[in-house]
Amino acid sequence: MSTEPLLQKPELVLALSQLDRCRLCMAETLLEAAKALLQPWAAESTLPEPNRMDVPIPAADLLAAVKALHDARWGYLSAITGLDLGPEAGAMEALYHFCMGAAVVTLRVRLPRDEASVPSVCGLIPSASFFERELSEMFGVTVTDTPDPSRLFLPDDWPDGVYPLRKDFVMSPTGGGNGAQAE
């Protein structure tokens, strides 16, 4: 590698730090592009960190928003995070994280806690199947039209209707759950 001796020169260390800034500008440009693609929903978008953009999306528009990013080949779906805001808030969120370079766009779908349902994105992104199976068994979010709705992680004898990553599910000291939601 030729970089080694070069890096010891101060002007090149400076150049490197500019490269860092450049990467950040690139992330900003990428986020701008994503914002343009997500124009119908972009009004409410926020930038929680310089390389990240959050865009709230109604569940009914999720497929359209994912399609906009997917068709433009903007990054890839890196993860789907379920987020329970607790029984008091009565809401949950499903976060669809798309990554491109250093930029991360998160589509935030807010869902009522008692009737959480999102459409499957597997028609566009087949690799989302595992994420959707995890989301539905851990949070009790119904994923309509997902190709394989069976359990991925939870054991076969896990009780129906008990979702361990919801906030009102409490682990017992022995490691099992209390079945708080099972009734």
Partner 1 sequence: MPTTEPREKFIVPIGPQHPALKEPGHFEFTVDGEIVTGATARLGYVHRGIEKGTEDRSWVQNLYLLERICGICSHSHALAYALGVEKLAGVEAPPRAQAIRVLVAELERIHSHLLWLGVAAHEAGFDTLFMYSWRDRETVMDLLENLTGNRVNYSANVLGGVKFDVSVEQADAIRRGLDFLEERTQHYLTVVTTDSMFLRRTRGIATMSKQQAEALGVIGPTARASDVPRDVRVESPYAAYTTFPVEAVLATAGDLEARFLVRVKELFESYRVIREILDRMPAGDLTARMPRRVKEGETVSRIEAPRGELFYFIKSGGGDRPERVKARTPSMFNFASVLTLAVGHQLADIPMIMAGIDPCFSCNDRLVVVNRIGHEADVWTWEKLRQYGIEYYRR
| Residue closer to partner 1, measured from CB, 25 or 60 | 25
Cα angle: 63, vertex 64, 67; to 5 degrees = 80
User: Rounded to the nearest whole angstrom, what is the least distance from the CB of residue 29 to partner 1 in the complex?
Assistant: 14
Q: Which value, to the nearest 10 degrees, does the dihedral of the CA atoms of residues 83, 85, 90, 96 take?
A: -30
Q: DSSP secondary structure string, 66-127?
A: HHHHHHTT-SEEEEEEEEE--TTTTEEEEEEEEEETTEEEEEEEEEEGGG-EEE--TTT-GG
Q: Is 122 in the site for partner 1 (CB under 8 A)?
A: no
Q: Is 95 in the site for partner 1 (CB under 8 A)?
A: yes
Q: Is 1 in the site for partner 1 (CB under 8 A)?
A: yes
Binding residue for partner 1 (CB under 8 A) from 66, 68, 125, 143? 125
| Residue closer to partner 1, measured from CB, 39 or 150 | 150
Are the C-beta atoms of 98 and 78 separated by less than 8 Å? Answer: yes
Of 35-54, binders to partner 1 (CB under 8 A) are 48-49, 51-52
Q: How far apart are CA 34 and CA 25, in angstroms?
A: 14
Q: Is 20 in the site for partner 1 (CB under 8 A)?
A: yes
Region of 32-40, 56-64, 111-119, 167-175 interacting with partner 1 (CB under 8 A) = 167-175
Q: Are strands 52-56 and 103-112 parallel, antiparallel or unpaired?
A: parallel
Per the DSSP assignment, residues forming a β-bridge with 98 are 77, 105
| Residue closer to partner 1, measured from CB, 21 or 39 | 21
Binding residue for partner 1 (CB under 8 A) from 114, 171, 178, 182? 171
DSSP code, position 154 = S
Q: How far apart are CA 6 and CA 28, in angstroms?
A: 29
Q: Is 153 in the site for partner 1 (CB under 8 A)?
A: yes
Q: Which residues bind partner 1 (CB under 8 A)?
A: 1, 3-4, 7-8, 16, 19-20, 23, 27, 48-49, 51-52, 76-79, 81-84, 95, 97, 99, 101-102, 104, 106, 125-127, 129-131, 148, 150-155, 164-165, 169, 171, 175
